[in-house]
Amino acid sequence: MKKYCKDFVVVENIALTPTFFRLTLQYPEKLPEINPGQFVEVLIKEGADVLLRRPISIHDVDEDKNQILLLVQIVGKGTQALSKIQSGQSLNLVFPLGSGFPLRGEKVLLVGGGCGVAPLMHLSRAFNNIGIKPDCLIGCRNQEQLFSTKEYSDLSNLHIATEDGSCGIRGLVTNHPILDKKFDTIYTCGPTPMMKAIAKEALKRNIPCYVSLENTMACGVGACLCCVVDTKEGHKCTCTEGPVFLSTDLKDF
């Protein structure tokens, strides 16, 4: 798939929680095909000490408006600087990068935690476009960390687990009874311990599980080798041959 390096115009920057914000970006021409699960590398212009681009999952795509949405968590200097960008400013992206989620099965479950919920919006929309409304399970610490629940509910059968029980069921996503239902495929993205736990549950039920790794991806094109992951077929770059992998293909899962 062809890659592009282009300037987008910031349409909107909305703070969703104290640590999460959502960018709506306008492309100057017709968007190329973007698969759910792919990501972009963002150039941070502000701050001389922010030298490397930042990999950000593509949250959603509006093909009619030629816009993409990025859901970003503030975790360091780069994302902190990015959170201050204003409408009308430009943002340079290399895109679309990596492999996406394959759309397989008719009864599917999407599981996300933390910033890992980001690609599940685009994935939910892709399933809707082929006539499938997925189940989507989101986990977080408490109700204050939830966001975009209406958007997820519009595209999926939304289920929620919070560690303190303030919304949905009390506990981790692996405690949710939705996992006891029969699914054709499970897709997950979020903290590694969560994905490993979901992958183990899927393996026990003999359900294929696709995981989206959050490895450090400095270049996005397989040149720096800092995102190498150990698979049963040898070492692979997460940024080019992932970030989506079948869980049973990974040695650590």
Cα–Cα nearest to 148, from 160, 164, 132: 160
Phi-psi domain of 188 (left: phi exceeds 0; alpha: psi -120 through 50; beta: other):
beta
Q: What is the CATH number of the domain that holds 77?
A: 2.40.30.10
Q: pLDDT of 20-48, one tens digit each? A: 999 999 999 999 999 999 999 999 886 54
In a domain, 92, yes or no: yes
Cα–Cα nearest to 212, from 117, 121, 148: 117
Strands 234-237 and 135-140: unpaired
Range of the domain at 121: 108-212
Judge contact between 125 and 132, C-beta under 8 A.
no
Peptide bond into 243 cis (omega under 30): yes
In a domain, 47, yes or no: yes
Residues 6+ apart with CB under 8 A from 11: 24, 25, 26, 67, 87
- What is residue 200's predicted lDDT score, i.e. its pLDDT? 97
Q: What is the CATH number of the domain that holds 131?
A: 3.40.50.80
In a domain, 220, yes or no: no
Clarify whether residues 113 and 71 are in a common domain. no
Q: Give all strands (DSSP E) within the chain, no chain letters.
A: 4-15, 20-26, 39-42, 54-62, 67-73, 90-97, 108-113, 135-140, 157-162, 169-170, 185-189, 209-212, 228-231, 234-237, 244-246
- What is residue 40's predicted lDDT score, i.e. its pLDDT? 96
Beta bridge partners of 171: none
Clarify whether residues 114 and 200 are in a common domain. yes
Q: How many domains, in total, are found in the chain?
A: 2
For the whole prediction, is pTM greater than 0.75? yes
Backbone angles phi, psi at 134, to 5 degrees: -75, 165
- What is residue 50's predicted lDDT score, i.e. its pLDDT? 66
Q: pLDDT of 101-152, one tens digit each? A: 999 999 999 999 988 999 999 999 999 999 999 999 999 988 888 889 999 9
In a domain, 231, yes or no: no
Clarify whether residues 139 and 72 are in a common domain. no
In a domain, 253, yes or no: no
